[in-house]
Amino acid sequence: MRIVFLDRGTIGPTVTITRPGFAHDWIEHEQTAADQIVPRLEGAEVALVNKVPISAETLAQLPDLKMIGIAATGYDRIDVAACGARGIVVSNVRGYAINTVPEHTFALILALRRSVIGYRQDVIDGKWQQSGQFCFFTHPIKDLAGSTLGIMGEGVIGQAVAKLGQAFGMRTLFAAHKGVTGLGPLYTPFEQVLAESDVITLHAPLMKQTRNMLALPEFEQMAKRPLLINASRGGLVDEADLVTALERGLIAGLGFDCLTSEPPTADNPLLAVLERPNVIVTPHVAWASEEAMQTLWDQLIGHVENFQAGRPSNAVA
C-alpha cells in the first residue's frame, strides 16, 4: 500500500510520526501546492491531508485512491460527495482537542478581560517606571466571576468551555443556531445570547448556515459590548464588519485564532488593528498543544490501520 502525506508541515515537530504496522510505502511532503496534488498522489491508495483540498476534479485523476485520512475534524476541504460516489473512504479525527482548544480560548479571554497585552506593552514602554507609584490604571480590568459567557456551538469543545467558564463563576449560555427555535431547554435564543453575554465564544463548524453568522446586525444587538472569541473556524464572522464593530465600540475586544483566509491576505481588515491592546490574533494554534497533536496523529494512523483491516473508522464518506 502506498501512503502519501501531503502537508507534514502542519503537524508540529515534537510529534512522533508513527507509521502503520502493516507493510507499506511511505512518502511525505512538507507542503503541497494545488498543481502538485495529482502528481504526488498518482498511484497512492491512501492520502493523508490536513488542509490540502481534494476536489472532484482531482479525484477523477486518481483511480488508485481508496482512502483519505484527514488530520483534522473539519472536512470541508474534501469533496465528500465525490468521494462517496467513487467509493473512497474519508476518515477524520475527533475529540483530540477537548483540552487544548478550551484552554486556548480561556487564555484569550483572560488576557483580554484583564488587559494583559496593554499592561505588558506599558511596562515595555517604560510607563511603570515613570508612574511614580506601585501601580497605574491605563486599561480596564474585569473579573470573570459573575459575568455571562455565551457559547455558540454545543459540541464537546463548547461543553468543555462551559465547564471552565463555570469554574470561574460565570453564567453560561448555549446559543441556539441563528434563526432556529424550539431546540429545547439547553439552548438560549440566539438574540438573547447576543444581548446578555459579556463574552461570546465560537465553537461551531463552518457550514452554509453558519458562514458570517456574526455581522454588523448581530454586533448591533450586543448590548453589553462583549469580548468576541473565535477559536473555531474562519468564516463564521464577517471580518470587515468585525473591525467596524470594534471601531464603533460595539464589542470590547476580540481574540481570534482563525481567519477566513489562512495565512491572511494583505487586505485582511484585522491586520490593520493588530497593535490595539484589545486585539489578539494567534495563527490557528488553539488545537496545537503537543499532547493534542500526538493524540490526533495516533488516531489518524489508527484509521489507516482500520481501513487496511477492512473496518473503516470515523468515516464521513
Catalytic residue among 57, 220, 262, 291: 262
Taking the C-alpha atoms of residue 34 and residue 250, their distance in angstroms, rounded to an integer, is: 40
Question: Is residue 284 annotated as part of the catalytic site, yes or no?
Answer: yes
Q: Is the omega angle on the peptide bond into residue 312 within 30 degrees of 0, that is, cis?
A: no
Question: Is residue 262 annotated as part of the catalytic site, yes or no?
Answer: yes
Catalytic residue among 113, 203, 284, 303: 284
Sign of CA dihedral 245, 247, 249, 251: positive
Question: Is residue 291 annotated as part of the catalytic site, yes or no?
Answer: no
Catalytic residue among 233, 239, 303, 311: 233
The answer for residues whose C-beta is within 8 angstroms of residue 5's C-beta and 6 or more apart is 26, 27, 28, 29, 48, 49
Tell me the DSSP string of 65-113.
Answer: --EEEESSS--TTB-HHHHHHTT-EEE---STTTTHHHHHHHHHHHHHH
Taking the C-alpha atoms of residue 255 and residue 287, their distance in angstroms, rounded to an integer, is: 15
Give catalytic residues, as residue numbers.
Answer: 233, 262, 284
